[in-house]
Structure 1
Amino acid sequence: MGTYNFSDIFDISALQGLLESLSAALGVGICIRDQHGKYLFRSRECGVCCDLLEEAPVGSDEQAPETVYQAFTPCVRYCQAAGLTDAVIPVMNDTVLAAVIQVGWVRLSEQEIDDAEYLTIARALQLDEEQFLESVHAVPLLTRTHFDNILNAVSLIMEHFSQLGHKNMYLKSVISSLESQEFLHQQEKNVLANLAEKDSMTGLYNRRKFEEVVALYARLKTRKICMISADANFLKLTNDIFGHESGDHLLQAIAKIMNDLAKSDWLVARCGGDEFRVVLPDTTLETALDYCRRVARNCRRDKSLALPLSVALGAAEWNSEKETLQDCFSRADAKMYQNKTALKHELRIPNYIMERLYDRQVLSKEVVEFTASLTLDFALYLNFTGEHAKEASLAAHFQDIGMAKLPESAAIRGQSRTEEETTQIQMHVTHSYTMARQFDELYKLADIIHCSHENWDGSGYPSSLKGDHVPIESRIIHLVSDYARRTHPTVTGGYYSEEAMKDRLARESGSVYDPNLVSRFLEFLQTRELH
């Protein structure tokens, strides 16, 4: 029967009316108890049982629960202590006992005793003898056949009610299932409705919703409306260098800033790719421009991403008498592109990435700048042209920019690395090459950067190039950067003295380093010392 109670399955008031009528017509008491023994109904014919026997100081065995509640078939019971007979009829719901119908009390002619014995019973129960005898005389005297016929009639009626109860329970189950399905349907409906107007990645409204709102406002020519066009900067670059997951984070970060700063009646939408739009009803142009400034400022403050969080914005106020709302947006879009061009010149992405590497202590700014400076001076010492020497210096500066793609754990120094971790570290050279090709100022230096960790004897990485197959600029950078790195203090405290490092360069000449360059570099260092 699950969690349903008897009153959940049956119409108690209707059942009570029926049983009261049966009790009066048949002249027998009828009561209902639930499966726990609690009375749900008792007819007016239950006088002796309900009024006298239950109040008897001594009591009778009629109250024994095991007799009543373990009855799963009709059971006729003679109470020796009371001298009366009753019967219990189970009310089943499927195979579960839902309740019992108790029929009685009656006197059976086959078991009838005289008044003297009833008086003896009254004394045993400590009841008023005259009152008890009067109540007994009011109890109908039936033959067992007559009583069985009454029980059969009540049993048939209760069997009918049990079937109805089973159907009621089934219907309740069906209704509950339908309600659950309706609830799930409504949830799905809400999800679909949300998907129809929301961008799943950022949670902002989508293009469809934006166009619906624009179409609505386009008919309201008396309202002051501003439009904003926004475009996330460096999305493609982020995707190409760091992967689409990083690109998603960039869009989500911009979306959150734009949405958090917007007023409740503004509509902020992502209309695809890196494109965002805002509709600002009842808003002046100055308010729209202030919003743009605040969005740009909050983006600049965010340093959580590998590339700058930056968005180009343009705003326009609708002149409803001279243009359509779409024309207004086109003006905002044009201003956005003007700002985007200016931002590209202002933001130098390679430098930003390097600063992030310094902040994370992946690279030492002091060592990087010293390496670039020393490379420039050594290249000039080797009679490189000024332009050529600057290119070598620039390549030296950004040779390890690919470290930005490595996980934070890879930058921890002083630890023993597994073979897999070592391979991961060495991969940063390939990352540096890939990243250099993304930037105009580094594009033609990408091959130099890619070879900057190759050894003279071919034991370096990533391509195991040997001898003159390694570009001379890369050989210079390898030599100078190792000298610079090993003669500067590290986070672990150990580093070479200049003399010790010179000895090491001499020992590794012809294996790690180009022997001719080692000789010239040692001369160069001697020249610097003299000056």
Structure 2
Amino acid sequence: MISTDQNENIVLMNTVSEELTGWKQEEASGKPFEEVFKIINEYTREKCVNPVTKALQLKKVVSLENHAVLITKNGDGIPIEDRASPITDMNGNIIGAVLVFRDVTDQKEKQKKIEYLSYHDQLTGLFNRHFFAEEIKRLDVDRNLPFTIAMVDVNGLKLTNDAFGHEVGDLLLQSVAKVLKSECRAEDIVSRIGGDEFVILLPRTSSVEAELIIKRIYKAMELQKVDNVVISVSIGWETKESSHDDIREVFAKAEDFMYRKKITESQSMRNQTIKVIMHTLHEANAREKIHSERVSKLCRKIGEAMKLDNEVIKELELAGLMHDIGKIAINNDILNKPGKLTEAEYEEVKKHPEISYHILKSADVYTRLAEYVLSHHERWDGKGYPRGLSGEDIPLVSRIITVADAYEAMTAIRTYKGAFSHEQAIEELKRCSGTQFDPEIVHACQKYCWTRKGEF
């Protein structure tokens, strides 16, 4: 609180006003109000109307204009709100004024955060869909022609989330956002409008100029990796050349162009990502690498013994190599546990066929393999998982993987158990023939697969 006389000279200051202004009562007393209480507009930096002067002139209570900042004695700025009132004597004569004001820094900060969140995407820091919707209307004026819209879609985000977890997926989105922001110009508007979709508004930008910017973006993306995952995006764009063009149609054409590019670019990226997943799994778990390679070789041997077509044998070999790719999403502590799994841990491991399916299904080239690996823990008697298939409802390739997987697991040395001999493993396969395993495949495994016992 600060009070003045009718000439606007300071009479009294309380402790809070001393702290906020930086002036002490004794040094401010008698000084002109404006010398002690300097206020400017937060945005224009222009001097604000003196509230005391206004209250004395209007002879009524007045409030300070919005966005007022108090300039302290040492030059700091403090956002404030205040109210000035005239002081009258017993006869109603104005003898001065009193100003009550408060520091609204915290309130302003909270308001800024609310405003920021209302217009920004929390994960990437880019503008959000709400801001984009407002901004495209604001920019859709003749002075911004030619006006280009670029649609950006992140390839393989779901695959990355499935294989490496949402934390890596979030890092992928943040990396994409960083590249888009750095390669665009200050006047361009970059927004995240969906889970894996971004849009760039390029005012006063021709299609040729936009293409140069997009080439820069592609080049910068090639240099980025997140946990060994290559970053890939598909970008389509369209330019509004005339005021007669409908901005909604321009947006739709940009989106359509992006989706057409995504058909080819996304598949290539997914194929790459699947290779990265296999490499990451095997690098983190040498035992899984050895297991997958041995199962793959054994699948081939069984296929040859059953005189299957060469194309089927090739699929068998690849499916055997990739049958456990879903284990990338299983905790390594569980995979490497030197002992029996708990019930909860076993349930976690049982998820890997479905995870493998979703990973491989994402790439067209692996669609058939996805079906095979999904069923490699099904049983001949229908008591397997995840779907409880039985007999010949289980794909042949899956049935072969099941036998090869079991044989390899039995004959491999583990920290918690010794390895079965070739004879012991064959006897166990025979014992479970007709219940867990397809009898025909067990027979082929027993009769044809090893010229020397246990070697394949």
Whether TM exceeds 0.5 here: the answer is: yes
The answer to whether the 8 Å contact 1:455/1:512 transfers is: no
- Name the counterpart of 2:322: 398
Find out whether 1:342 has 2:269 as its counterpart.
no
Find out whether 1:415 has 2:338 as its counterpart.
yes
- Name the counterpart of 1:509: 429
The answer to whether the 8 Å contact 2:162/2:355 transfers is: no
Q: Which moved more, 1:310-319 or 1:359-368?
A: 359-368
The offset of 1:258, in angstroms, is: 1.5
CA offset digits 1:349-385 (Å, max 9, x no partner) = 5444323323434675565355334413422321334
1:464/1:224 CA distance change after superposition, 3 Å:
closer
The offset of 1:336, in angstroms, is: 1.7
- Name the counterpart of 2:353: 429
1:511/1:475 CA distance change after superposition, 3 Å:
farther
| Amino acid in the other structure paired with 2:226 | S
1:447 and 1:341 map into 2 onto residues whose CA distance is 22
- Name the counterpart of 1:260: 182
| Larger helix fraction of residues | 1
CA offset digits 1:12-71 (Å, max 9, x no partner) = 5999xxxxxxxxxxxxxxxxxxxxxxxxxxxxxxxxxxxxxxxxxxxxxxxxxxxxxxxx
The offset of 1:239, in angstroms, is: 5.9
1:463 and 1:306 map into 2 onto residues whose CA distance is 33
- Name the counterpart of 1:227: 149
The answer to whether the 8 Å contact 1:483/1:501 transfers is: no
The answer to whether the 8 Å contact 1:233/1:310 transfers is: yes
| Structure 1 segment 167-178 matched on structure 2, within 5 A | 178=102
CA RMSD of aligned residues (A): 4.7
| Structure 1 segment 49-68 matched on structure 2, within 5 A | none
- Name the counterpart of 2:44: none
The answer to whether the 8 Å contact 1:319/1:328 transfers is: no
In the alignment, which of 196, 200, 204 is matched to residue 126 of structure 2? 204
- Name the counterpart of 1:355: 279
| Amino acid in the other structure paired with 1:194 | Y
CA offset digits 1:464-511 (Å, max 9, x no partner) = 989889765444213323555777899x8x997xxx742332342334
- Name the counterpart of 2:109: 187
Give secondary structure in 2 for the equivalent of 1:276. strand
1:527/1:415 CA distance change after superposition, 3 Å:
closer
Q: Which runs of 5+ in 1 are unaligned?
A: 16-170
- Name the counterpart of 1:99: none
Give secondary structure in 2 for the equivalent of 1:221. helix
The offset of 1:340, in angstroms, is: 0.8
CA offset digits 1:104-145 (Å, max 9, x no partner) = xxxxxxxxxxxxxxxxxxxxxxxxxxxxxxxxxxxxxxxxxx
The offset of 1:400, in angstroms, is: 0.7
The offset of 1:435, in angstroms, is: 4.5
The answer to whether the 8 Å contact 2:162/2:329 transfers is: no
Q: Which runs of 5+ in 2 are unaligned?
A: 1-13, 30-97
- Name the counterpart of 1:452: 376
The answer to whether the 8 Å contact 2:159/2:359 transfers is: no
| Amino acid in the other structure paired with 2:426 | A
1:416 and 1:362 map into 2 onto residues whose CA distance is 17
The offset of 1:230, in angstroms, is: 1.0
Identical columns (%): 27
The offset of 1:436, in angstroms, is: 5.1
1:14 and 1:213 map into 2 onto residues whose CA distance is 48
1:213 and 1:469 map into 2 onto residues whose CA distance is 56
1:234/1:463 CA distance change after superposition, 3 Å:
closer
Give secondary structure in 1 for the equivalent of 2:194. coil
Give secondary structure in 2 for the equivalent of 1:231. strand
CA offset digits 1:407-462 (Å, max 9, x no partner) = 34344x37346514344334323433454555555555556434424677999766
The offset of 1:248, in angstroms, is: 4.2
1:484/1:297 CA distance change after superposition, 3 Å:
farther
In the alignment, which of 283, 295, 299 is matched to residue 371 of structure 1? 295
- Name the counterpart of 1:478: 402
- Name the counterpart of 1:315: 237
| TM-score under structure 1 length normalisation | 0.54
1:458/1:482 CA distance change after superposition, 3 Å:
same
| Amino acid in the other structure paired with 1:378 | I
The answer to whether the 8 Å contact 2:162/2:358 transfers is: no
| Amino acid in the other structure paired with 2:449 | L
| Structure 1 segment 26-65 matched on structure 2, within 5 A | none
In the alignment, which of 210, 215, 234 is matched to residue 137 of structure 2? 215
The answer to whether the 8 Å contact 1:362/1:403 transfers is: no
The answer to whether the 8 Å contact 1:357/1:363 transfers is: no
2:139 and 2:28 map into 1 onto residues whose CA distance is 61
1:254/1:417 CA distance change after superposition, 3 Å:
farther
Q: Which moved more, 1:215-224 or 1:240-249?
A: 240-249
1:466/1:218 CA distance change after superposition, 3 Å:
closer
The answer to whether the 8 Å contact 2:353/2:374 transfers is: yes
Give secondary structure in 1 for the equivalent of 2:231. coil
- Name the counterpart of 1:525: 449
Give secondary structure in 2 for the equivalent of 1:409. helix
Give secondary structure in 2 for the equivalent of 1:510. helix
The answer to whether the 8 Å contact 1:433/1:449 transfers is: yes
Give secondary structure in 1 for the equivalent of 2:429. coil
2:225 and 2:257 map into 1 onto residues whose CA distance is 26
- Name the counterpart of 2:211: 289
The answer to whether the 8 Å contact 1:250/1:305 transfers is: no
The offset of 1:253, in angstroms, is: 3.2
- Name the counterpart of 1:28: none
Find out whether 1:332 has 2:216 as its counterpart.
no
Give secondary structure in 2 for the equivalent of 1:379. helix
Q: Which moved more, 1:419-428 or 1:189-198?
A: 419-428
| Amino acid in the other structure paired with 2:338 | Q
1:521/1:404 CA distance change after superposition, 3 Å:
same
How many residue pairs match? The answer is: 362
| TM-score under structure 2 length normalisation | 0.61
Q: Which moved more, 1:199-208 or 1:234-243?
A: 234-243
The offset of 1:267, in angstroms, is: 1.5
1:483 and 1:280 map into 2 onto residues whose CA distance is 61
| Amino acid in the other structure paired with 2:178 | K
| Amino acid in the other structure paired with 2:319 | A
1:480 and 1:219 map into 2 onto residues whose CA distance is 67
1:345 and 1:467 map into 2 onto residues whose CA distance is 34
